[in-house]
Amino acid sequence: MQTNLTSVLTILGMALITYATRAGGVWLMSSLPLSKKLQAWVNILPGTLLVSIVAPTVFTAGFAEVGASLATIFIAIRTRNILLSMLIGVGVVVGLRWVQAYF
């Protein structure tokens, strides 16, 4: 594979910009006092982003994905263990896809 200078500089530039925006956000937020309302918003933001990423798959996918989503939600509610629920979800989707492929 041949690499040229333009490709390398483009990738390095994108990496630098990505790092600068993330580090700048952390620096900016650490220097500002957060109100209770803003702190509550920041605390709930990761969950809402996760739902916005996962929801389209759940509602437009097939049987295996819906089954895995239900299993993941059930395990997450019962155990409050996110890693376990993700592992169960991946296992269920693999198992259900295997069942769909062979039966």
56-97: per-residue pLDDT in tens?
A: 888 888 888 899 999 999 999 999 998 999 999 999 999 999
Angle at 48 between CA 71 and CA 36, to 5 degrees: 130
Q: How far apart are the first and last CA of the chain?
A: 43
Q: 41 and 55, same structural domain? A: yes
Q: 78 and 57, same structural domain? A: yes
- Domain that residue 92 falls in: 35-102
Q: 42 and 24, same structural domain? A: no
Higher-confidence residue: 2 or 40? Answer: 40
* Total structural domains within the chain: 2
Residue 18 has pLDDT above 90, yes or no: yes
Q: 80 and 62, same structural domain? A: yes
Q: What is the pLDDT of residue 87?
A: 96
Distance CA(25)–CA(34), nearest Å, equals: 14
Q: 91 and 46, same structural domain? A: yes
